[in-house]
Structure 1
Amino acid sequence: MSSYQVRPATVRDAKAIAEINATSSRAAYQGLVPDDQLGTLSIDKRQQFWRDAIEYMEPQVQVATDGDKVVGFVGFDRSRDKGTPSACGEIWAIYVDPAHWNQGVGVALWDAANDGLKEEGCTKVTVWVPVRNERALRFHEHAGFKREMASLKTVLVGTVKLEEIRLRRDVG
């Protein structure tokens, strides 16, 4: 049982979400994206994105807290992939402050997203993960996601091309 509380995000959480998004991205993408690009991640742009997401509920955003401090977040909604059935959801983003990695925050956030997707009538859920992000792949596979090998695609992150793979599992 997690000691972290998960709740719907409020607009006031946008700055903390943006900071976690940037800090966790820097840690997770170290060695995959050049340090000079990681150092330019804009908290202001991310804060505006997450403020809008929270306000318009696209995606739905939940935060994990440790006391009053936001330590992680998850954004989820219907899948953005073309041709996907309406009953397929997607984890758009799931990030945890690196100081709280391996402490159950990600599991608490995944459980909240799973419950939210179930409430929305989703029966399947997907997530896109860079192939070289072994930590994220392990997390999702531990949560029951399976790689869809035919889904491999190349995405541009800054000036770097990364291979991503879609993982899928049942909502339940």
Structure 2
Amino acid sequence: MIEAHRHTGPLVIRTALPAEAEVVAGLHVRARSTYYPDGLPEDGFDWAARWGEAIGRSDGQVLCAVRDGRPVGVASFRTPPGPPAKTVELLQFHVDPGHWRTGVGSALHTACVEQWRADGRRSAVLEVRVDNARAQAFYARRGWVPDPENPPAEGGHHLYLRYAVRSGE
């Protein structure tokens, strides 16, 4: 069951802080568990440690959507290894389920695109689970399309999407 939250304060998008890794990990797990019908599989990852590493990486960035002093959305992206350097990879994008349909995801996506544009990126890529219709619809509304360079594997669990980062939008 998704708990509804009161949304009182303004939404602030900023770089995640190392001290927020555990809170961000909890948000990540809550969001991911919504699209696994049998519950989130035990993956053995220490998500707080992984988010701490992501926040500290020099080749990437983690943005947080913060309301009332608490992260309610998170996006992690980096420049993938190898060419093309004008592409950025969106690794994680989650909104706490209690904050769905409140504009958090839209604001966070807009902040990502603004950062990519400022960094001179021309395209972005991501993977989304084939059974995550909510995320696929979110991305499609923002202009993400199937990546022609990475068609889905037969029986695969992920779709690959691409986004054109246009200058001056």
Query: Normalised by the size of structure 1, how large is the TM-score?
Result: 0.82
Say if 1:99 and 1:57 are closer, same or farther in 2 by CA, change over 3 A: farther
CA distance in 2 between counterparts of 1:39 and 1:145 reads 27
Deviations 1:86-116 (A, max 9, x none): 1011111100110011111111111111111
- 1:48-127 aligned at under 5 Å gives the runs 48-79=49-80, 84-127=83-126
CA distance in 1 between counterparts of 2:135 and 2:57 reads 27
| Structure 1 portions without partners, runs of 5+ | 155-160
Return the letter of the residue paired with 1:139: F
| Structure 2 portions without partners, runs of 5+ | 1-9
Please say if 1:15 is aligned against 2:16.
no
TM superposition shift of 1:50? 0.8
Is the 8 Å Cα contact of residues 22 and 41 (structure 1) preserved in structure 2? no
Question: What is the match of residue 5 of structure 2?
Answer: none
CA RMSD of aligned residues (A): 2.2
TM superposition shift of 1:141? 0.4
Is the 8 Å Cα contact of residues 59 and 77 (structure 1) preserved in structure 2? yes
Number of aligned pairs?
157
Return the letter of the residue paired with 1:170: A
Question: What is the match of residue 26 of structure 1?
Answer: 33
Percent of matched pairs sharing the same residue: 24
TM superposition shift of 1:118? 1.4
CA distance in 1 between counterparts of 2:115 and 2:57 reads 16
Secondary structure, in 3 states, of the residue corresponding to 1:122? coil
Is the 8 Å Cα contact of residues 79 and 126 (structure 1) preserved in structure 2? no
Secondary structure, in 3 states, of the residue corresponding to 1:151? coil
TM superposition shift of 1:168? 0.9
Return the letter of the residue paired with 2:151: S
CA distance in 1 between counterparts of 2:13 and 2:43 reads 26
CA distance in 1 between counterparts of 2:89 and 2:137 reads 18
Q: Greater share of helix residues, 1 or 2?
A: 1
Is the 8 Å Cα contact of residues 59 and 79 (structure 2) preserved in structure 1? no
